[in-house]
Amino acid sequence: MVMGMKVELLRYTADPERLIAAAAKSCASKRTTTELLERLSDEKVSEIVRDVVDMGHLSVIEHAYFTFSIDGISRVTTHQLVRHRIASYSQQSQRYVTLDEENFVIPPTIEKKEKAKNLYLEFVRKAKEAYEKLLEMGIPPEDARYVVPQGITTHITVTMNARELLHFFRLRCCYKSQWEIRKLAWKMLKIVREIAPVLFHNAGPSCLSNGRCPEKKFPCPVKKLLERGKKSREEIEDFLENTP
């Protein structure tokens, strides 16, 4: 009935940090980006990328793109995801793909309460039955899908440049973000950090990336964790990824 979230990095700009560093350096150099790609040392690449991000000169990091395959997330979450407009999306269509499987995301708050979970599963079962009966009556899938709950899983291909990813992580890794898209954001961040560790070394919610919380009136347990100073950044990141 329930399937787990799966995130894969399909493609990305080759050697993204070197490209970013060369592009940034070319703005104040007689040498072309092609020449700089070959001449810059690894240490200089890291220095330039770190400076670019820390100073907020982010136009040059737009040259680096990352494409993800995301599966097992609900349409509740994809509706939030596609609000990030500086990105490209290709999502499974319910007009052309009938619901052959009963895969739905169950929110943890519902999962842990037996009565709530039973109510949820009963609703899903009835919705699936209604959907199948509508198809049997000759209703096209694009119209029958109106009875399908938003908790149904889907898959989507997402491409973002590095600048938009930083923006996405700042908003969606935050504790205030809805739990499922927050979990997705942290999975994506962990993946791109493996590819570009300097570029994304400080990525995450505002409280971790720049030490400032824009949600001043929102009661957040992370604020207390940071104030007490008893948790490492890794522990706080794990808390944000896995806490509903």
Q: How far apart are CA 32 and CA 199, in angstroms?
A: 22
> Per the residue annotation, which of 75, 145, 170, 172 is the catalytic one?
172
Q: Can you list the positions of beta strands (E) in 111-232?
A: 153-161
Structure tokens at 69: 């395959």
Coil, helix or strand at residue 138 = coil
Sheet holding 65-74, edge to edge: 6-12, 65-74, 153-161, 88-91
172 in catalytic set: yes
Tokens 């290709």 sit on residue: 90
What burial class does residue 102 get, using C-beta atoms within 10 Å of its C-beta: 0-12 exposed, 13-18 middle, 19+ buried? middle
Q: How far apart are CA 57 and CA 23, in angstroms?
A: 12
Q: Please identify every residue annotated as catalytic.
A: 172
